[in-house]
């Protein structure tokens, strides 16, 4: 939890800190904080800590929209690539028989899926790429689950983790 005294008071004038403001979203909550981008008053619940200071949720959201530049087609490509590669990788893992192979093949398959998606989507960043990739890696492997539950169980865990890790974004 962020307490009011941990927040920096934005200094945009000589008497700004003495002025009592009311949060734009919560009109009953008094605050001394303003968003350092749009300047609207905001309470500590609404303030989001960013590398460049405290901002309101709306400004953070619009910054993210600019950051995430993936197009609808990217998700289709990401899903299809993940599904197809995962299908064949899981087939191999399930067929090999010895479940320990899954420990070596799964992270490699996941890594490959991540790299191929990354290239084919023009290295654009998508808010939902990690979810789409993860879901399709799992979907592609499910048909083989009954064939070799142990190996595919390991595969589901490790391949999905390796594929998704490349799209986890830190803001
Ligand atoms: Zn703002
Ligand atoms: Zn508020």
- If you count them, how many residues does the chain have? 171
Taking the alpha carbons of 148, 149, 151, 152 in that order, is the dihedral positive or negative? positive
Ligand nearest to the CA of 44: 2
DSSP code for 71: -
Give 28-43 pLDDT, tens digit per residue. Answer: 999 999 999 999 999 9
Q: Comparing 51 with 15, which gets the higher pLDDT? A: 51
Query: Does some domain include residue 54?
Result: yes
Distance 32 CA to ligand 2 centre (A): 12
Same domain, yes or no: 59 and 91? no
Distance 67 CA to ligand 2 centre (A): 25
Distance 159 CA to ligand 1 centre (A): 39
Flag whether pLDDT at 13 surpasses 50. Answer: no
Distance 30 CA to ligand 2 centre (A): 9
Same domain, yes or no: 116 and 38? no
Ligand nearest to the CA of 46: 2
Same domain, yes or no: 142 and 105? yes
Burial of 11 per CB tally in 10 Å (0-12, 13-18, 19+): exposed
- Could you tell me the two tokens for 42? 């905001």
Give 79-131 pLDDT, tens digit per residue. Answer: 999 999 999 999 999 998 777 889 999 999 999 999 999 999 988 888 889 99
- Could you tell me the two tokens for 156? 């589901």
Flag whether pLDDT at 2 surpasses 50. Answer: no
């Amino acid at each position: 939890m962020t307490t009011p005294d941990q927040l920096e008071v934005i200094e945009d004038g000589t008497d700004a800190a003495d002025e009592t403001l009311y949060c734009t979203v919560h009109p009953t909550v008094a605050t001394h904080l303003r968003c350092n981008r749009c300047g609207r008053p905001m309470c500590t619940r609404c303030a989001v800590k960013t590398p460049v200071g405290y901002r309101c949720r709306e400004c953070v959201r619009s910054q993210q929209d600019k950051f995430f530049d993936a197009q609808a087609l990217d998700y289709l490509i990401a899903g299809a690539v993940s599904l197809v590669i995962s299908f064949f990788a899981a087939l191999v893992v399930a067929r090999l028989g010895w479940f320990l192979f899954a420990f070596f093949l799964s992270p490699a398959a996941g890594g490959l899926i991540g790299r191929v998606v990354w290239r084919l989507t023009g290295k654009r960043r998508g808010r939902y790429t990690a979810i789409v990739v993860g879901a399709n890696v799992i979907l592609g492997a499910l048909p083989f689950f009954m064939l070799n539950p142990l190996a595919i169980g390991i595969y589901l865990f490790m391949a999905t983790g390796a594929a998704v890790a490349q799209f986890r974004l830190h803001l």
